[in-house]
Structure 1
Amino acid sequence: MAPTLYPRSTLKKIIKAHSNRPLSKNVDILIYLHYALFMQELVNEASIRSKQSGERGVSATSVRRVGERTLRKYKG
């Protein structure tokens, strides 16, 4: 069995608690991958924004500035 980056059973319980629908077998994997892509894009956009602003590194302010736009892209 391959090692996981997150506790699958915990994630499945959280998803079931927030959903009143039946879940497929590997839905937790898809949700985790979607989350990882979101975080990657958020950090990349914040990095670009901070460089444009002349900052030396990524700050919380630069993440907040791009957060809303990135969330809109991933909203389903």
Structure 2
Amino acid sequence: MAAVQKLYPRGTVKRIVKAHSNRSVSKNADILIFLDYMLFMQELMREASIRSRKSGEKNISANTVRKVTEVRYSRSISKLLWKSRENI
């Protein structure tokens, strides 16, 4: 029988999350964290691809990815600030 290749190291993900949050991780939380990470990477690469095509580049560069993440973070921060103002 062929050995099954693991998609990612579950123990490593759990240790990283536990170290940063000082809380234990439930049984399948690491799977959801990994899937969320993969969705983030897909969206990031899609946006970087669109941006590089618009600027006439043939390849996706590190600079393009940086620009996309800057725009993404600024949008996220402005949304958080807007929500906090609504709650006041």
Equivalent position to 1:60, from 39, 55, 62: 62
Match of residue 41 from structure 2: 39
RMSD (CA atoms): 1.8
Length, aligned pairs only: 72
Alignment of 1:12-51 (within 5 A): 12-51=14-53
**Alpha-carbon deviation of 1:68?**
2.4
Cα distance in 2 for partners of 1:12, 1:56 equals: 38
Cα distance in 1 for partners of 2:7, 2:66 equals: 26
**Divergent runs of 4+, >4 A:** none
TM-score by length of 2: 0.72
In percent, how many aligned pairs have the same letter? 60
Instruction: Give the gaps of 5 or more residues in structure 2.
Output: 78-88
Bigger relative contact order (CA 8 A; separation at least 6): 1
